[in-house]
Structure 1
Amino acid sequence: MPRLRTKLIAFAGLFLAPLPTADAFGPTPNPVLQNAQSRLMAEFARFATLTDGTVGIAVRDLGTGETLAYNGDTLFPMASTYKVAVAGKILSLLDAGSLSLDETAPRLGRPLPIRTLLEMSLTQSDNEATDALVARAGGPQAVNDWVRSIGVRNLRIDSNTRDLLARAKIAGTGFGDEAVMESGLSAAQRTARDMPNIGFAQDPRDTATPRAMDDLLAAIRLGKALKPQTTAIILSIMERCKTGKDRLRAMLPPGTRIAHKTGTLNGLGNDTGIITLPDGRLFAITVFVMKDYKGRIMRDRIMAEAARAAYDYFLFAPDRHTA
């Protein structure tokens, strides 16, 4: 009888024991990689404390698809980073045979070739050149439709640069008096002190999440948005970007290849780009900072620190799996 009782207890234990989790049947997580990811995320959180505003960071290995993000799904004003989408739409027209890089469009009344306007827009962030391209593209909605057509969500284009700047500095966002004047300051005073327009920062128009901006860069670089020749054109121009020397590129090793585009408004600093590692691997990175009163130097530092931390992570962290 004791032996029978023992067998019954053992048999019942097979049913009463907890079932293994689904993870138990999959690959064992790499603790070294998990630790590296945790350290990177802790660094991103630390960088965010350098501002009294809001920081969004998204990084993505373009080979494996591995993505890490801090406030990656928060909407931020794109400012001039939207010019990447404008250039993409223009080059899609070239792919379709409905545009030539040698045709001209007027900038401040002077006709300039499309290729020149693209160069001015992406390397110098020239607003008038960009708006000439927006008009040639068919307007902001046409650019927005192209972004949707390549599968990018949570990135919307509602304005050309002139109208975007008007909303950034003046009332009309529909979020109350603070959109006109925070702390009793006029738009001109706010500009002089580099203070944010909180109403504009809360307006969903002309915004993107950091993840969505990486989606746009990935679609372009991986050939999902443009033909190989036009992909090479946009990336080569972005590699010649003259703005943002103290942002993403500032702390990278000398000679690091980076194709990027900056954006700047009162209390707001952005940079988004594709960085090439020494072994040829690529990662996309977007850093947005908004509602910041600390000033441009601190915003630039956050972008630079985030880029270097991501660079070291992707270069040294082990054992990634293809997405």
Structure 2
Amino acid sequence: MAVTNTLTRIREAFDGAGVTGRLHALDIDSGAEVGASADHPVVTASVHKLCLLVALHQQAGAGRVDLTEQIECPPAGRTPGPTGLAAMLDPVRMSLRDAAYLMMAVSDNTAADLLLERVGLDAVNHTTARLGLAHTHAVYTFGETFGTIRQDAGPGGPQALTDPYIIARLRALDPVRANHSTPRDMTRLLAAIWRDEACAPAHAAAIRRLLGLQVWPHRMASGFPFDDVHVAGKTGSLPTVRNEVGVIEYPDGGRYAVAVFTRATNTAATFPPADAVIGTTARIAVEALRAL
């Protein structure tokens, strides 16, 4: 009965926010779980940067990559995005690990594509396959993803993305054709990071640190407004898509991996109810796990 009530509350929250939602929550230590369409394919958007980060650290652990290696980023040709390098005007030189920080903290698309040039999509997919994430696959770089949106939107440009008919034809929003995963795959990845199973312990700790530096508090973290509860996560956004995956850590040692993926019926670029429901449903799921 308790599980049924939890799922009802989660579904009602998604419905009330005007979104279709998929969720999986996992107690990292006991294995207890809560799922709402947890195995349904979803578009990852920038959540896939977590897979890239793990691949980067696996290669570093194997000695194939030096995280202090310097990379150059001229102003021309940067991947579009509202944050990080895309918003800067001058040439930038930084280390791979600092690019990884920008990629995770402010979801910097240019930094992500610079790392993909060094790591490769094949390595990202090899990493997720090796970790048993059978439903997780990267198809495009982040620049290529935005390229498909421009092509599919047509001559109307960004304003066309308010048209539901245009939205419906975007390849970037189709889990069959875009970078994709499932909520359960993502909590499995997070659990592997927190258990030091995804890569060597020092590298797993570095990944956990970066996830804890994300600056966005309006999604998953909004459900846990407590000074002694730590939320480490990665968001992902595309037209009508708002996602976040993360780990919530309580002072009593409880650790919960949560993945929430949503699609809104409202095409507005700013739609606070869709952001807030990620925190609301994550809180409902974690409270249910803590009550077991």
The structural deviation recorded for 1:145 is 1.2
Structure 1 counterpart of 2:26: 60
Matched, 1:253 2:234: no
Structure 2 counterpart of 1:73: 39
Q: Which amino acid aligns with 1:135?
A: E
Q: 2:214 aligns with which of 229, 241, 248?
A: 241
C-alpha distance 68-213 of structure 1, shift in aligned 2 (>3 A): same
Matched, 1:97 2:63: yes
Q: Percent identity?
A: 22
C-alpha separation between the residues in 1 aligned to 2:192 and 2:107? 22
Matched, 1:302 2:277: yes
**Is contact 1:143–1:157 with CA below 8 Å preserved after alignment?**
yes
Q: 2:266 aligns with which of 289, 293, 299?
A: 293
C-alpha separation between the residues in 2 aligned to 1:252 and 1:231? 24
More displaced stretch, 218-227 vs 45-54: 45-54
Q: Aligned to 1:59, what secondary structure does the other structure show?
A: strand
C-alpha separation between the residues in 1 aligned to 2:251 and 2:57? 29
C-alpha separation between the residues in 2 aligned to 1:40 and 1:76? 22
- Where structure 1 has 5 or more consecutive residues not aligned to the other structure, the ranges are 1-34, 172-179, 319-323
Matched, 1:272 2:253: no
Matched, 1:42 2:24: no
C-alpha separation between the residues in 2 aligned to 1:110 and 1:56? 38
Superposition pairs of residues 189-204 of structure 1, within 5 angstroms: 189-191=159-161, 197-199=167-169, 200=171, 201-204=173-176
Q: Aligned to 2:198, what secondary structure does the other structure show?
A: coil
The structural deviation recorded for 1:53 is 4.0
Structure 2 counterpart of 1:150: 131
**Is contact 2:32–2:289 with CA below 8 Å preserved after alignment?**
no
Q: 1:168 aligns with which of 138, 149, 152?
A: 149
C-alpha separation between the residues in 2 aligned to 1:192 and 1:291? 12
1:175-230 C-alpha deviation (Å, 9 max, x unpaired): xxxxx47xxx9341144689972233224120111111112112222222111100
Q: Which amino acid aligns with 1:311?
A: V
Q: Which amino acid aligns with 2:127?
A: W
Structure 2 counterpart of 1:136: 118
Q: 2:186 aligns with which of 209, 213, 223?
A: 213
C-alpha separation between the residues in 2 aligned to 1:193 and 1:278? 46
C-alpha separation between the residues in 1 aligned to 2:48 and 2:261? 12
Q: Which amino acid aligns with 2:158?
A: A
Q: Aligned to 2:258, what secondary structure does the other structure show?
A: strand
C-alpha separation between the residues in 2 aligned to 1:66 and 1:107? 44
The structural deviation recorded for 1:90 is 0.5
State the TM-score, normalizing by the size of structure 1: 0.78
Q: Which amino acid aligns with 1:247?
A: R
**Is contact 2:235–2:244 with CA below 8 Å preserved after alignment?**
yes
Q: Which amino acid aligns with 2:102?
A: M
C-alpha separation between the residues in 1 aligned to 2:167 and 2:149? 7
C-alpha separation between the residues in 1 aligned to 2:136 and 2:164? 25
**Is contact 2:264–2:274 with CA below 8 Å preserved after alignment?**
no
**Is contact 1:272–1:286 with CA below 8 Å preserved after alignment?**
yes
Q: Aligned to 1:186, what secondary structure does the other structure show?
A: helix
C-alpha separation between the residues in 2 aligned to 1:238 and 1:309? 22
**Is contact 1:273–1:284 with CA below 8 Å preserved after alignment?**
yes
The structural deviation recorded for 1:54 is 2.0
Q: Aligned to 1:152, what secondary structure does the other structure show?
A: coil
The structural deviation recorded for 1:292 is 2.9
**Is contact 1:141–1:158 with CA below 8 Å preserved after alignment?**
no
**Is contact 1:196–1:268 with CA below 8 Å preserved after alignment?**
no
State the TM-score, normalizing by the size of structure 2: 0.86
1:71-120 C-alpha deviation (Å, 9 max, x unpaired): 11111111100000111000001110121221112334633101110110
The structural deviation recorded for 1:312 is 1.9
Q: Aligned to 2:222, what secondary structure does the other structure show?
A: coil
